[in-house]
Amino acid sequence: MTADKAPPELDPVIHAQARLRVVAALNVLGDGDEMTFGSLKDLLGMTAGNLSVHLTKLEEAEYVRITKTHKGRTPVTYVALTRRGRLAFEDYTRAIRALLDPAGGTP
């Protein structure tokens, strides 16, 4: 990185380790696809409370969409990455790559 060029900014909403893991996991899903809260919790090995707190932050930033419904009598919560969240994750990964390889070259 040259002295005259500032390092890229990292999105503080995504940069927290737990939220980065959430967004990365949801980014693998196709546009419009969603995952149950329980599946996401198990995949990431997080407690329900911890995941809930991080999803609230992501939802406030409009990076995820939370849908609460019922399957029969059982409540089910679905989580999906929004278009805004997908774009924010793309920007974040681009910024990380710029930090890791400031010359922009490939091996």
Q: DSSP assignment, residue 74?
A: E
What's the one-letter identity of residue 11? D
Residue by residue, DSSP assigns 6-69 as: PPPPP-HHHHSHHHHHHHHHHHTSPTT--EEHHHHHHHHT--HHHHHHHHHHHHHTTSEEEEEE
Predicted local confidence at residue 8, as pLDDT: 80
Predicted local confidence at residue 10, as pLDDT: 93
Vertex 48 angle, CA 46 and 54, to 5°? 75
The domain ranges of the chain are 12-98
Walking along the chain (107 residues) 10 residues at a time, the average pLDDT comes out as 69 96 96 95 97 98 97 95 97 93 63
pTM of this prediction?
0.86
Fold of 12-98: Arc Repressor Mutant, subunit A (1.10.10)
